[in-house]
Homo-oligomer: A and B are copies of this chain.
Amino acid sequence: MITAVEIEAKAKELKQKGYPVISLAIGEPDFPVHESIKDTIYKAVLDNKTYYPNPQGILELREAVAEYETKRKGIHISPDEILITAGGKPVIFYSIFSLCNKDDEVILLEPYYLVYPYWCKVLNIKYKVIKLEENGTIPKDEFLKALNSKTRLIIINYPNNPQGSLMNKENLDLLLEALEKFSRLYILSDEVYSELVYEGEHISIFKYNKERVILLESFSKTYSMTGLRLGYGIFPIDMIKNLKTMNSNLITGPSTPIQYAGIVALKDENVKNYVKTMLEEFRKRRDFLYEELKTFVKFKPQGAFYYFIKIPYDGLEFCNRALNEKYLAITPGILFGDSFKNYVRISFANSMENLKEGIRRFKELL
């Protein structure tokens, strides 16, 4: 199955060949990386901070993450619990690979991030898929039916890509009860859009049970640091030693100067204000698109930066047609689960100008 990153790569290729491509395919903020972050990378390189990083992540960054998360979550988090990774994806691989054996089961919630089922499939781990309600609620009966003593891992993603829904109290209770009932069960909570919330409140299940919840966070979306590759997992402390060794044997760690940039992203006041500015800009785009799309969608996304739209066509064919006929790159819904063959995802992490032109082309195709 093609990934969103591959669609984007194809779109870039067409663009390089001179076609007037507009890409609303990928979850990649169009904002440049903040100057303080850019300068930090250069300063780190100039200062020869270019040697192997500690395979758990450089201590200063883990300290900065611990401080940031302790404050956000209101529970104590230590640098020892944190594994710095090259973006958030390794946390998904590490969680599935290190927790699940061949008789175990994983529960995924649809729409899901393609990387979750990818690693389940490739690692030969059985998984069940439950379709979320449109507001992000987990259907209780179906969930309880899927859950059993073989369930080793539930992967959740709030704010949800591509649905834009938030975790709610009902889900939280349901998941915490599941952890209580099944002692082998873990939850991987992918919260990479946690700072991109337009209304309502982001609830992190992590703070209610950090012994059995793995937190996945990334610098990509919040700080527009997609291509720099920096993220982290906060793991139950007894998992860290093995995962540090695994990280050491897989990639050693993210590029050292980029790790220094991560410290500044978390601590610099100017960067914090920049994030606020980006969020306000995303909100404007979200509101603009809602007006354009309201015959197709019921409500505005509460978080992240996508519209997930049902169309009267096969989504994959439609996306191919969009790219080939209109040079518009968008993402087929099937990537987020089999229930979404007639869906497409449009990212509004793009300039207003591109959104206007992109949505014009999109409507022409309908």
Contact = CB atoms under 8 A, between A and B. Distances in A.
B253 A3 contact: no
Given A8-B52, A228-B256, A228-B257, A249 B115 contact: yes
Nearest to A86: B251
A225 interface: yes
Interface stretch (A40-48, A142-150, A272-280, A287-295): A40-48
A155 to B, nearest CB: 14
Given A89-B251, A229-B252, A258-B255, A52 B38 contact: no
Interface string A109-133: 0000011001100100000000000
A49 B227 contact: yes
Interface in A24-72: 26, 28, 32-33, 38, 41-42, 45-46, 48-56
Nearest 5 pairs of A and B residues by beta carbon = A227-B256, A42-B42, A86-B251, A51-B227, A255-B255
24 contacts: A5-B52, A6-B244, A6-B245, A9-B55, A12-B54, A33-B45, A33-B48, A38-B42, A41-B41, A41-B45, A41-B257, A50-B228, A51-B226, A51-B227, A52-B226, A86-B251, A87-B251, A89-B249, A89-B252, A114-B249, A115-B249, A122-B246, A227-B256, A229-B256
Interface of A: 3, 5-6, 8-9, 12, 26, 28, 32-33, 38, 41-42, 45-46, 48-56, 86-87, 89-90, 93, 114-115, 118-119, 122, 224-229, 244-246, 248-258
